[in-house]
């Protein structure tokens, strides 16, 4: 395999593997050091300078109490206006610790135990565990073969969800995880029309929205006509690699403002004040850093296509329109329903197993693109060696570490 073309030189090229392995987060401590971790949603980047400065200043003045005020919501409104031509009302926001906690609280507000929640598999695995914990019924409206929303599947699921007379919700992943699909304005308008027609409440997870890549345009769901009774969850955590700094926002349409009042007050207090300061700084001052990151990701999604065409031509890959996730169809490789197991055990590359994403996930893996071009190239080399001779030749021949439940 030839050496990778150098990337644009943005955040993904600034840290060595040796430096990254000094980190103590989940990505770097779940597997032994001979494993390349391309699984969980952490990026191989340094902190954006404005974020680091905000954290340093907060610690220096001992500003580590409870969160207060609307600075985060106002910064998000300004960011949304600049990037998406849409300005949410900070008065219709609620602070939550993270997007999944916000989703759980909103589902408690708009549905009851036993009610149905529609999702679009293959989709983010914590949706399944959260719905199971809340005792909500999962109804699947699978994505089409083109990884796009299927209006007929949605309509059928919405009819089924409300057939018994109970309340129902739809958990929309936008942009979609794991496929990286960015939904169009027309697609989202269809969602809003169908949801209104069937009386289904929409909760939109837009955590990857700032990571829309060149050639696609993120459309905020609340900006679509007919979405006035929906709620959207947003955070800076994915775009600026702040998962360990817990803070997210729930944004309500004008007909859904009362739903925010049903979220317990302690939920907002559970967000980190220091995290709020960091997220606010990212939105206010982290634009240039984000632009450099997006250039890196644009390069990496194309690089991965080249690497796969050269070394693993039987893997089907549609470059993502958003996120830093690649959804790889490995069914032609003969590695079974869970090819991630072989890539980990033999190739020493950790990826997210496709079956965890629900129907349509068997035979697939989700690969995290947010690494250096060199790391990505080495990962594909190891994966190809796994398929070619079963030896992997890229790392230890010992047994793979147990894979975690959380993805």
pLDDT digits (tens, 9 = 90+) for 57-71: 999 999 999 999 999
HSE value, Cβ hemisphere, 13 Å, CA-based, for 354: 22
pTM for the full model? 0.94
CB 272 within 8 A of CB 55: no
Q: Which tens digits make up the pLDDT trace of 274-330?
A: 999 999 999 999 999 999 999 999 999 999 999 999 999 999 999 999 999 999 999
Residue 389 pLDDT level (bands cut at 50, 70, 90) = confident
69: left (phi over 0), alpha (psi -120 to 50) or beta: left
Is residue 110 predicted with pLDDT exceeding 80?
A: yes
pLDDT above 70 coverage of the chain, percent: 94
What's the pLDDT score for residue 190? Answer: 98
Q: Output phi, psi for 248, to 5 deg.
A: -145, 170
pLDDT above 90 coverage of the chain, percent: 93
CA distances from 27 to 24, 33, 46, 243, 308 (A): 8, 11, 15, 11, 24
Is residue 338 predicted with pLDDT exceeding 60?
A: yes
Q: Look up residue 322 and give its DSSP letter.
A: B
CB 139 within 8 A of CB 160: yes
Residue 403 pLDDT level (bands cut at 50, 70, 90) = very low
What's the pLDDT score for residue 5? Answer: 67
When pLDDT is averaged across residues 202-213 and rounded to a whole number, the result is 98
Is residue 398 predicted with pLDDT exceeding 90?
A: no
Is residue 404 predicted with pLDDT exceeding 70?
A: no
What's the pLDDT score for residue 392? Answer: 39
What's the pLDDT score for residue 390? Answer: 63
Candidates 203, 201, 192; CA nearest to 151 is 192
What's the pLDDT score for residue 164? Answer: 86
Q: Which tens digits make up the pLDDT trace of 26-36?
A: 999 999 999 99
Q: Which tens digits make up the pLDDT trace of 83-100?
A: 999 999 999 999 999 999
CB 89 within 8 A of CB 256: no
CB 367 within 8 A of CB 38: yes
Is residue 401 predicted with pLDDT exceeding 70?
A: no
């Amino acid at each position: 395999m030839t050496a990778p073309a150098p990337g644009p030189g943005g955040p993904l090229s600034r840290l060595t593997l040796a430096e990254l392995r000094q980190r103590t987060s989940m990505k770097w401590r779940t597997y032994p050091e001979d494993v390349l971790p391309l699984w969980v949603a952490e990026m191989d980047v340094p902190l954006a300078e404005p974020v680091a400065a905000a954290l340093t200043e907060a610690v220096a003045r001992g500003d580590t109490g409870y969160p207060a005020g609307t600075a985060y919501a106002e910064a998000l409104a300004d960011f949304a206006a600049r990037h998406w031509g849409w300005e949410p009302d900070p008065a219709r926001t609620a602070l939550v610790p993270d997007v999944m906690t916000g989703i759980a609280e909103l589902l408690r507000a708009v549905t009851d135990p036993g009610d149905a929640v529609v999702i679009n598999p293959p989709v983010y695995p914590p949706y399944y565990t959260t719905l199971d914990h809340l005792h909500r019924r999962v109804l699947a409206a699978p994505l089409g073969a083109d990884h796009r929303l299927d209006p007929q599947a949605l309509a059928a699921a919405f009819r089924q969800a409300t057939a018994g007379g109970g309340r129902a919700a739809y958990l929309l992943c936008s942009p979609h995880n794991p496929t990286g699909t960015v939904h169009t304005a027309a697609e989202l308008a269809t969602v809003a029309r169908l949801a209104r027609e069937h009386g289904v409440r929409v909760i939109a997870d837009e955590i990857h929205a700032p990571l829309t890549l060149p050639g696609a345009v993120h459309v905020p769901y609340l900006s679509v006509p007919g979405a006035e009774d929906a709620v959207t969850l947003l955070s800076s955590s994915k775009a600026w690699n702040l998962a360990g700094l817990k803070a997210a926002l729930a944004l309500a349409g004008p007909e859904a403002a009362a739903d925010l009042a049903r979220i317990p007050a302690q939920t907002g207090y559970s967000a980190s004040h220091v995290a709020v300061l960091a997220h606010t700084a990212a939105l206010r001052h982290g634009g240039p850093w984000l632009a450099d990151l997006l250039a890196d990701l644009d390069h990496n999604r194309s690089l991965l296509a080249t690497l796969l065409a050269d070394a693993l031509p039987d893997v089907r890959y549609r470059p993502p329109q958003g996120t830093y996730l690649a959804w790889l169809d490995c069914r032609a490789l003969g590695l079974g329903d869970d090819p991630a197991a072989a890539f980990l055990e033999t190739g020493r590359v950790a990826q997210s197993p496709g079956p965890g994403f629900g129907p349509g996930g068997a035979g697939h893996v989700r690969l995290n693109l947010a690494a250096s071009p060199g790391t990505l190239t080495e990962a594909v080399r190891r994966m190809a060696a796994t398929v070619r001779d079963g030896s992997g030749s890229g790392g230890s021949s010992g047994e793979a570490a147990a894979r975690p439940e959380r993805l």
